[in-house]
Amino acid sequence: MWRVRAACLLCGTLPVLTFPRPGLSWLAWVILVPGLLLMRSAPGVRAAGTRGWWFGAGYLTAVLYWTLPNIGPGLVLVAAVFGSLWAAWGAAARWLGSSAVAVIVLPSIWVAIEYARSWPSLGGPWGLLGVSQWNHPTILSLASIGGVWLLSFVLVAANTAIVLALRPPRRGPWVRTGGVLLALLLVAGPLTYAARTSPSTEKTMRVALVQPGVVHSPPTRFSAGERITAQTPPADLIVWGESSVGHAIARHPDIATRLRALAAEAPILVNEDARDADGRISKSAILINPDGTHQRYIKTRLVPFGEYIPFRSGFGWLSRISRAAGQDRVPGTGASVMTTHGLTLGPLICFESTFPDLGRAVVRRGAQLLVYQSSTSTFQGSWAPPQHASLVAVRAAETGRPAVQAALSGVSTAFDARGRRLAWMDTDHRGSTVVTLHIPPSTSRTPYDRLGDYVAYLAVLIAAAAALAAARGRLARPR
């Protein structure tokens, strides 16, 4: 029994290989097959559900391993609690067996799981399977239709089709059925890419991304950003990373004066991470225009344990044995946009790039460019920085907007409106890069912009209907 559970745990860790840095994204089309075969071969539905639980625990442990400095032993608790969501997936794999309806139900349950754990109060949507395709623009085009949820659905459906093709003992018709389904799923992305035209261009802009590296001293960090900015070629917008300004600008006139000088030629978007007069801490994106005026956005979605501790009264002790937040940051009130030089940009901060709804929220407010500010200094040397950067490509494809990320310590990157990579400054790079972006009109919309998370909603409905059918024993089983 324990050997089987250990095998399920191991199978759950395998999908992490499809994300950066391993970057074996092609494996996402087959990586779930070993786990599905283990669940399907379970002696009963309950045993299959247990195997699914172990699979989910392995999955979350692998994709969240880099949080150990902040969570410490809490990672085991997170993996055990939220890994239980995959019990339904494992049970369904055994219950449906080789029924063709599994190609719809199993992907729906997977997407429902991803959608459930994506609620901000439950942590956030890190490690969604669909993100593994971030560097394949043709496949990524599906995100413009149904968001990252459609990508995950297609990948799980492809794995399920392979399992159908492996059905013994009469493989003939099932091989053909599984092969046809797999072929259709493989061409869905390229066909969507070919059918969709590139967004029209209202203007072109040069955006500079500044990356000073890991500098712990706030004054030294500010000076590094200041020096790099002064040496950067001319640009229409300059973006600094998260926590690039470690002092409250309103309380330090000298800092404000130096920033106004930097913004004399082009607006500069900095990020303030400092205590206010009342001792509260927020992270704010601040746009400083050449005329000296400011616009501010306060980070809304905070990092669990990194920027606040959920249920601090019960879990506050984690801050004594790890790097969990010693003081909770104060969140903002919601997404907003900024305007400068005829451009409307949607500023979002670090962890907020994981949330599809925030990208859509700023687009609905007229954003023509998505701008993310990030700092992954705590996680240098892990797979977190490139995985974080890959999310920007997905958000660009979903919204049909170019998207950039300025990371304090890397990875700083830029993607066009179809999710094609334009720039990539890895964690070992210090300096700046300037990228030319084609800006679409504010009225441009993708189907996902208009329809939202309908794929996730349908997945939840299908999963609920399957659960109801299972409870009533009315689903036709294959002979």
Q: How far apart are CA 229 and CA 235, in angstroms?
A: 10
Tokens representing 125 are 């949507």
State the alpha helices, DSSP H only, in 30-119: 33-40, 45-63, 68-71, 74-83, 86-96, 102-117
112 touches 103 (CB < 8 A): no
Q: Which residues contact 234 (CB under 8 A, 6 or more apart)?
A: 206, 265, 266
pLDDT at 479: 46
DSSP annotation of 333 reads S
Per-position DSSP letters for 222-262, written without gaps between them: HHHHHHHHHHSPP-SEEE--TT-B-S-GGG-HHHHHHHHHH
pLDDT at 410: 86
Angle at the Cα of 406 (from 395 to 433), degrees rounded to 5? 110
Of 49, 41, 27, nearest in space to 168 by CA: 41
For residue 435, the tally of other CB atoms under 10 A from its CB is 19
Of 118, 119, 88, nearest in space to 106 by CA: 88
Residue 352 CA, distance from chain mean position: 8
70 touches 378 (CB < 8 A): yes
Q: Residues of 361-395 as b/e, b for ≥16 C-beta within 10 angstroms? A: bbbbeebbbbbbbbbbbebeebbbbbbbbbbbbbb
pLDDT at 327: 76
pLDDT at 68: 85
Q: Which residues contact 394 (CB under 8 A, 6 or more apart)?
A: 130, 131, 134, 140, 143, 148, 151, 356, 419
Q: How far apart are CA 203 and CA 199, in angstroms?
A: 12
pLDDT at 169: 47
Q: How far apart are CA 363 and CA 204, in angstroms?
A: 18
Q: How far apart are CA 426 and CA 412, in angstroms?
A: 7
pLDDT in tens, the chain (479 residues): 789 999 999 999 999 999 999 999 999 999 999 999 999 999 999 999 999 999 999 999 999 999 887 777 778 988 999 999 999 999 999 999 888 899 999 999 999 999 999 998 777 899 999 999 999 999 999 999 999 999 999 999 999 999 988 865 455 565 566 677 777 888 888 888 888 888 889 999 999 999 999 998 999 999 999 999 999 999 999 999 999 999 999 889 999 999 999 999 899 999 999 888 777 889 999 999 988 888 999 999 988 777 777 767 666 666 766 676 667 888 999 999 999 988 999 999 999 999 999 999 999 999 999 999 999 888 888 999 999 999 999 999 999 999 999 999 989 999 999 999 999 999 999 999 999 999 999 999 999 999 999 999 999 999 999 999 988 874 445 54
